[in-house]
Amino acid sequence: MRTDAILIARLAHEIQAEFGGARVRDVGQLEDGRVALALWKKGRTQLLSADLFAPTPLITLENGELPIAAEPGFVRALGAALRGKTLSAARSLEGERIVELEFAAQSRFGVPESYLLIFELVPRFGNAILAKGGIVVAALKEFRHSGKAGRSVRPGIPYEPPPLRAGKPRAQFAEELSADTIRTGDLYVYRDGEGTLIQAHVVPLPECEESACERKSSLLPLLSELRTTASARPDSGGEDKVRTATQRLLEERERKLRAELARVEAALAASATRDHLRARGDAIYGGLHELAPAERQAAKDEAAAVFARYKKAGSAAAHLARRRKSVRSRLDEVEELRWELERADHDQVREIAELVKPRDAGAPKSRPKKRAPMQGMTQAGSRIFVGRSPAENAELTFRIARPNDLWFHARGQPGAHVILQRDDRATPSDLDVHAAAELAALHSKGRNSAKVTVDYTQRKHVRKRPGAAPGLVFYTDAASMAVEPRDSINIASPKEKNR
C-alpha cells in the first residue's frame, strides 16, 4: 500500500479524534523495533506504534503492553520527556508525509511545557524527532548536511522539515479536495481476489478500478489490518526481524569502535608528551662533566634508557596514528552499512545482514541475487546507472563501468555509486553530467538537503577499500558540484519501466 500527503493528513486527523487529551503512561520499543506510546484515555490504554522502517512507514493502533527491556538512547529520551504529559494536538505538515504530535503539561512551577514528536513517514527515509521550542532534542536517526546549504537533524539545532523539490507535486488531488473530504469522508478501499487490502484513499483510484472496492469510514483500522496481514504471510516479518537484529549489531559495533577510538586518542595524547624524555636524556648527558668519574657510567646508562623510551614512544605514535585511521575507516563503514540498511527493501535486507554479521572461518559466502541494474537514458543518449545496494555498487563500478566512464558519489556521506557512460565513448554533455550528479545526491544520505556536494571522476581513478565491505572505495582526481537531489530523467529498473 502506498501513502501520500492526503492519507497522512487523514491519519493525523483520526489520531487527534481518537487520542486528543490522552495521557502518556509509558514509552518503549516493541520487540520488532517499533517505537510505541502507551496512551490512556477514558479508562483505557492503547499503543500508538510507529513502524518507520517498513516499505511503507505506518502509524498503527493496537492493544497490548510495552515490553520490559533495555531501551535505546532515543526511546529513553522520548520517555523522559513525554511520560505523564497529555496529547494536546495531532496534525500533519501540509503537503508532506509528516505527522506532528504535540504533548503538553504544567511544570512544577506552573509554567506550560510542551514537546513535539515528529514522525517523518517517508519510505526508506522514515525518522522520528523529538523537539522542544522548535529545537531538536533527540532523533532516531541523526545526520548532518553536506555543503553550504542543506538540512541537518541533530540535537541542539532548529528542526527543519524535508525541503520541497521542484517538479515534485506535494500530493495527488490535493487542490481539488475539501478539508471535510480529506478528514471525514468515506475511504475507497481496494482488495484483491483473496480479500487482502491493497490500497485505500479518499478518492477513487483509476489504477485500482479492476479490484474489488468498498467504502470505510476510518483509516486507522485499515493500517492495523495492513500490518496484521503482512505479519501473517509466510515468512512475513522475517526481513523486519533481520533488519532489527542487524541494526543492533551495527549499534554494538559502533559502540566498540568508538570506545577503541577513545583509547587510541588517549594513547596518542600521551605519546605527544614524549619530548620531555628527550629533554631529560639531553640534560643527563649535558651534566656528565659535573659528575665524578665513578658516577658517569651510571648516568650514561640512565640516559640510554631514557632515549630508548623516547624512541619506543615515537614508534608507538606512528602505530597509533595508523590504528586511528583504521578505526575511523571502520566507523565510516558502519555508517555506510547503516544507511544501506535504512534504504534497503525486503529483498536487500538479508544481503546487508550478511555483510554485518560475524562469519565463521569455514562458512561459505552467500551470493546476493543479481537484478537488472536501475538505469535511464538522457535526451542526449547517455546512459546512467544507479546502485541500490553495496553489491550493486561494486558491480556497477568494477564490472559494468569502463575505465573512462564517469563515476559519481555524494561527498563525505553514504550514497549510491552512479555511473555515466556513452555507447559511442564520446564526452558526455554538461547537462548529462549535472543529471548524473543530481541522481547521486538523490540516492544519498543527504537526499533531504536542499543542496548536496557530489564528487565525480573517471572510473579508473576509483579503487576498492582493502578489507572493507563491497562498494566501499576511495578515489582521486575528482571534480565536484553542488546540486539539488532529484531525478530529472525518471530512472528505473527495466522491470519497473515495463509495468
Q: Is the dihedral of CA 178, 183, 185, 191 positive or negative?
A: positive
Range of the domain at 261: 239-356
The answer to whether residues 257 and 331 touch, using CB atoms and an 8 Å cutoff, is: yes
Residue 250 and residue 227 share a domain: no
Domain assignment present for 204: no
Between CA 416 and CA 396 the distance in angstroms is: 10
Among the candidates 297, 326, 356, a domain finishes at 356
Domain assignment present for 209: no
The answer to whether residues 117 and 99 touch, using CB atoms and an 8 Å cutoff, is: no
Residue 228 and residue 95 share a domain: yes
Among the candidates 323, 356, 389, a domain finishes at 356
Residue 56 and residue 11 share a domain: yes
Domain assignment present for 161: yes
Give the residue from 392, 413, 405, 374 showing the smallest Cα distance to 469: 392
Residue 249 and residue 168 share a domain: no
Task: Name the H helices within 20-110.
Answer: 73-82
Q: How many domains does the chain have?
A: 3
Domain assignment present for 486: yes
Upper half-sphere CA count for residue 415 (Cβ side, 13 Å): 30
Backbone angles phi, psi at 409, to 5 degrees: -160, 140
Domain assignment present for 261: yes
Residue 318 and residue 250 share a domain: yes
Residue 58 and residue 170 share a domain: yes
Instruction: Return the CATH number at 38.
Output: 2.30.310.10
Domain assignment present for 364: no
Between CA 29 and CA 31 the distance in angstroms is: 7
Among the candidates 200, 232, 264, a domain finishes at 232
Task: Name the 3-class secondary structure at 184.
Answer: helix
Domain assignment present for 368: no
Residue 159 and residue 54 share a domain: yes
Q: Mind listing the pLDDT tens digit of every residue in the chain (499 residues)?
A: 888 889 999 999 999 999 999 999 999 988 777 899 999 999 999 999 999 878 788 899 988 888 766 566 788 899 999 999 999 999 998 888 999 999 998 666 667 789 999 999 988 778 999 999 999 999 988 776 644 456 788 889 999 887 765 444 444 445 567 788 888 889 999 998 888 899 999 988 888 888 899 999 999 999 988 887 766 555 545 667 788 888 888 888 898 999 999 988 888 877 766 666 677 777 887 888 788 888 888 888 887 887 777 777 666 777 788 889 889 988 988 888 888 888 877 667 888 888 887 654 444 555 656 677 789 999 999 999 999 889 899 999 999 999 999 999 999 899 999 999 999 999 999 999 999 999 999 999 888 788 999 999 999 999 998 888 888 899 999 999 999 998 888 776 555 554 4
Domain assignment present for 214: no
Torsion of CA 257, 262, 266, 269, to 10 degrees: 90
Residue 394 and residue 493 share a domain: yes
Residue 384 and residue 341 share a domain: no
Residues β-bridged to residue 153 = 143
Residue 156 and residue 52 share a domain: yes
The confidence score (pLDDT) of residue 164 equals: 62
Residue 254 and residue 226 share a domain: no
Residue 29 and residue 101 share a domain: yes
Cα angle at 401 between 397 and 402, to 5 degrees?
Answer: 130
